[in-house]
Amino acid sequence: MMKTALIFGSTGLIGGILLKLLTNDQKYKKIKVFVRSSTSKIDPKIEVVQTDFTKLENINSEIKGDDCFFCIGTTRKKTPNKQDYINTEYNLPVTIGKICSDNSVQNFTYISSLGASSKKTNLYLKNKGMAEEELRKLNFKKFIVIRPSFLIGKRIEERLGEKIGIFAMKCISPILVGDLKKYKSINAEIVAKSMINISNSEIQSGVFEPPQLLQIGRE
């Protein structure tokens, strides 16, 4: 039976690639994208749901399907207010996860980060870790945590810090061996492909870091 996918964060790096891949994937009959501003459809399979993320109760009935892919994220530079940052990085994924669970969505894939833990003092990693813990409590057939390292790919908004980061990662990648291999940068398309492959395979719920993502994303 053909599936319906839900994407939150389809305008970001991974979400944008994911949308293209799902559009061309014959296993999916519909892709619902939840965005703040209305946009034109680029394919008949895509359904655009204009969303006020502070009033998700208004679109509760729209958050129904088979596979949900949560790709929303922000930075402290974009979101300097601490509470707004926590709302985006923690409250939003947990709230959407709960709605998906209540609406019998089968699989939920959450983009986290390498090093995420609720015990961290770093606010970014702490929020990711806390969100993982809360989402894990929900009733999904499969809960998939994606923890990528530094992402390589063409972003809509190029940031100087990211350009410097890409250059730095290219320089140090050759010395990242053994247990440090997981910190090597990873192509965003590989990550997106692995998300789809895990959702449509016998692979069970779990946390997936770069070594596993590289293997699964190339299958």
Report pLDDT for 171. 55
- Residue 83 counted as domain residue: yes
Report pLDDT for 128. 98
Each residue's pLDDT tens digit, 151-171: 987 655 555 555 555 555 455
Each residue's pLDDT tens digit, 115-154: 999 999 999 999 999 999 999 999 999 999 999 998 987 6
In whole angstroms, how far apart are CA 14 and each of 110, 112, 173? 12, 12, 21
Q: What angle do CA 25, 132, 84 make, to 5 degrees?
A: 95
- Residue 172 counted as domain residue: no
- Residue 178 counted as domain residue: no
- Residue 158 counted as domain residue: no
Pairing of strands 107-111, 67-70: parallel
Number of structural domains, the chain? 1
Res. 175 pLDDT band, cuts 50 70 90: low
- Residue 164 counted as domain residue: no
Each residue's pLDDT tens digit, 184-196: 789 999 999 999 9
Domain span at residue 47? Answer: 3-152+186-217
3-state secondary structure 3-30: EEEEEECCCCHHHHHHHHHHHCCCCEEE
- Residue 213 counted as domain residue: yes
- Residue 181 counted as domain residue: no
**Element (DSSP H or E) covering residue 160:** helix 160-172
The answer to whether the CB of 2 falls within 8 A of the CB of 29 is yes
- Model-level pTM greater than 0.85? yes
CATH number where 63 lies? 3.40.50.720
